[in-house]
Structure 1
Amino acid sequence: MSYKSLWQGRIDSEDGDAGRRWHQVVEFQDTPYKAAGGLCLVGYPNDSGVEANKGRIGAAQGPDALRQAMANLPWILAGKLFDIGNCTIHCELAETQQDYASRVSEALRANKVLGLGGGHDIAWASYQGLNKATDGIGNIGIINFDAHLDLRKPAPSASSGTPFRQIAEFSQRNNKPFHYACLGASLAANTPALLDYARTTGTRMLPDTQFSVEGAIECLTPMLENVEHLYVTVCMDAFPASVAPGVSAPSALGISPQDTVQIIQWLGNQCRARGLKWVLSDIAELSPGFDIQGATARLAGRIGFELANAMHG
């Protein structure tokens, strides 16, 4: 099935433009060069990184499930909506990430981008795309809603558990500051080795047991004072398995979706007030084969809706 055929939904023709939904405004472009002046969706239908991290495979179907979940959302943004399809999947994870990063960097020249994962190895690819699009100028703040720190050593190979360590090591090699915050990290899902590395790199962490809007504001405000660009990534395994069963690694406890939405909205307001450039977000680890009645996909779609609105303001 072509990804284009997934964009279907209700039509309220009696309401005119005020009744439009995402499926009615989306435009398809075969290349990022042709997309300009809006929100650009880029798919990353890959779960080889999840498999390498010994997770439940199935996130490769995540982008299409996200498209279906977002198709019926009301369109309330100024500008256009583009879907430029999926990146090319290669035998080597690094090549797939490079292809995605290239698409993101080109799309960012004239758009804001929402990435549709795929495993959380999308984060290393997203960061590379943003770093290239900004020509390496300005500090990038990374905010990750996740039960896992994803700071594993990329040995013997990179995986969905290594992206932020890859970013940390890249930053060190290039004398760049590493601004990373993980909101919702589970102490029951991260080893002492990962926690030690987090402390060593100055990672900001808000545990799932302390997750709240107020806690996030306290955690993130100092970082926002030291960055020019913002990249936000949401791993669907951050949420309770009872709410989001269709993920690569279900969470026993998880964080509140309502608080997550409020934090995303707060971030949008902060970026406008501080003049920060928030042009890139993505959603990872949606695994439709394990979903129950589409609950996880619907939540992921709502998260996509909030990210898009917060980035545009």
Structure 2
Amino acid sequence: MTLDKAWEGRIDEEDGDAGRRLHQAVQDADNAKEPGIMLIGFACDEGVSRNKGRVGAYAGPDKIRKALANLPWQEHMPVYDYGNICCDDHDLAKAQKQLADTISEAMRQKHTPIILGGGHEVAWGSFQGLANHYIQKNCGTPSIGVINFDAHFDLRTPYNESLHGSSGTPFSQIAEFCKSRQWPFHYACLGVSRSSNTQALFNRASALSVLAIEDVEMITEGRTVVRDKLRSFINQVDVIYLTIDLDVLPASAAPGVSAPAAHGVDYPTIEWLVRDILKARCEDGTHKLRIADIAELNPRFDIDDQTARIAARLVWTLMEKAEHLAK
């Protein structure tokens, strides 16, 4: 699918500017003349394949765009589309570096990157892009909080050194990066499933002081208890990288993912917590959230595009508040 085909939709000329939809507002990244939202596609499921998952997430970015196209435009910041970074040659590390370089350049130009995945190997590229931004600014040791809505910790150790990671290793790679630079490692995983992670992974999460809130706890403890734990985590960090793996949702709500969840966390709870994250502010009044990505949409297994629609709703929610994110 070409980008032109992805950004097609209904036009309500009789409603004027108030009837505009996102496909009428999005601009090519080459036309970016002022700070805005920068959509970056990461067309890749090489990491999913290495992690022995169901491939198909490569087609995720364009499906998200297509689901976004008809959503209403709220006249916030300009929206630009960089297009897709593709992993077509099995060289995942190269694709992740290209993503990282694109993110850091977008941030240098004061854009707010929202990355459309793709497998959850996107997280290692997203984090590197944010880290490179702060390294280039030479502003000391950043305290970055990684918030992951996910049924899985994705803290595996790469089982084959020649492959350098998979969709199951990004947060281990982030932890090792932080250790090598003597940066603090702040990681919160919300919606993690006890039945989808081995004890070894729970042990590793504990050793790394990960804030882990299980899927069942998200229901039994109630939203406000979970929110308060998350706020306490956010208060410890300077900036936030938010990553949402769609398999945190129940399979009945999100069938189009690489690893469907038998239990999962309901969508209203996820969006409620995301909106709360969007309220977090730095001391100078800017928003703590700097970048976000959506991972693991697998159109091959979707039903009536319902998972793509959820992904689009999450992106739209982030864009709705994005005028506060740029710095």
Normalising by structure 1, we get a TM-score of 0.95
Match of 1:107 in 2: 106
Asked whether the equivalents of residues 267 and 310 of structure 1 are also in contact (C-alpha less than 8 Å), the reply is: no
The share of aligned pairs that are identical, in percent, is: 43
**1:1-313 to 2 correspondences below 5 Å:** 1-30=1-30, 34=32, 36-89=34-87, 90-109=89-108, 110-135=110-135, 137=139, 138-156=142-160, 157=163, 158-211=165-218, 212-271=222-281, 275-313=286-324
Asked whether the equivalents of residues 44 and 86 of structure 2 are also in contact (C-alpha less than 8 Å), the reply is: no
Asked whether the equivalents of residues 206 and 219 of structure 1 are also in contact (C-alpha less than 8 Å), the reply is: no
Q: Which moved more, 1:252-261 or 1:1-10?
A: 1-10
- Provide the secondary structure at the position in 1 that maps to 2:166: coil
Asked whether the equivalents of residues 278 and 311 of structure 1 are also in contact (C-alpha less than 8 Å), the reply is: no
Q: Which moved more, 1:112-121 or 1:77-86?
A: 77-86
Asked whether the equivalents of residues 88 and 100 of structure 1 are also in contact (C-alpha less than 8 Å), the reply is: no
CA distance in 1, matches of 2:274, 2:321: 7
One-letter code aligned to 1:149 = F
Structure 1 stretches of 5 or more lacking a match? none
CA distance in 2, matches of 1:77, 1:209: 38
Structure 1 residue 84: deviation in Å? 0.7
Closer, same or farther in 2 for the Cα pair 1:35/1:253, shift >3 Å? farther
Structure 1 residue 3: deviation in Å? 1.7
Q: Deviations over 1:46-70 (max 9, x none)?
A: 0000000000000000001000011
Closer, same or farther in 2 for the Cα pair 1:35/1:94, shift >3 Å? farther
CA distance in 1, matches of 2:127, 2:291: 9
Asked whether the equivalents of residues 45 and 119 of structure 2 are also in contact (C-alpha less than 8 Å), the reply is: yes
Structure 1 residue 297: deviation in Å? 0.6
Asked whether the equivalents of residues 277 and 289 of structure 2 are also in contact (C-alpha less than 8 Å), the reply is: no
- Provide the secondary structure at the position in 2 that maps to 1:86: strand
